Amino acid sequence: MLGAIAEDADVAREAARVVASFYLSSMPPELLLRHGVEPADVAPAIAAFNAGDVGRALALTPSAIGDALSVGGTAEDWIEKIKRDFQPAGFDHLLVTFADPFLVESWAGIRIDGLPSLDDQIRLFHSRVMSAF
């Protein structure tokens, strides 16, 4: 599971969207569809990435795409998504990758103010999300 966790849900959602957008061009249409994403809806962003225009690609990746392909939000948002989408499907283990602020800045050339460090996201996830399960 790819995402970001922060006290500010909007900050986390934006970081998760940015990182998730970089995976679009490597996702086959079947995988996009499985996540509720129409391949045609992300084709312009993929074309921009393929042309090396990261800024345009990010601008063409709407929040809804980030929400479909990642988890971004508060600890409560994470708990809700896990309970709603993963537990009913029988998952009892998750592999979680957080949007590291350094990664976001080095890949996208942008800084997301308020995004906790990778260490702080791991601590927040451990103390507030894992403890709920």
pLDDT at 3: 96
pLDDT at 73: 98
On the CB side of 119, CA atoms within 13 Å amount to 0
Kindly give, in sequence order, each residue whose CB lies less than 8 Å from that of residue 12, ignoring residues fewer than 6 positions away: 3, 4, 5, 6, 72, 73, 74, 77, 99, 115
pLDDT at 107: 92
Distances (CA, A) of 82 to 22, 29, 31, 75, 127: 23, 24, 19, 11, 16
Contact 30, 36 (CB under 8 A): no
- Confidence band, pLDDT 50/70/90 cuts, at residue 19: very high
Enumerate domains of the chain plus CATH numbers. Answer: 2-132 (3.20.20.30)
Q: What average pLDDT score do residues 35-43 get? A: 96
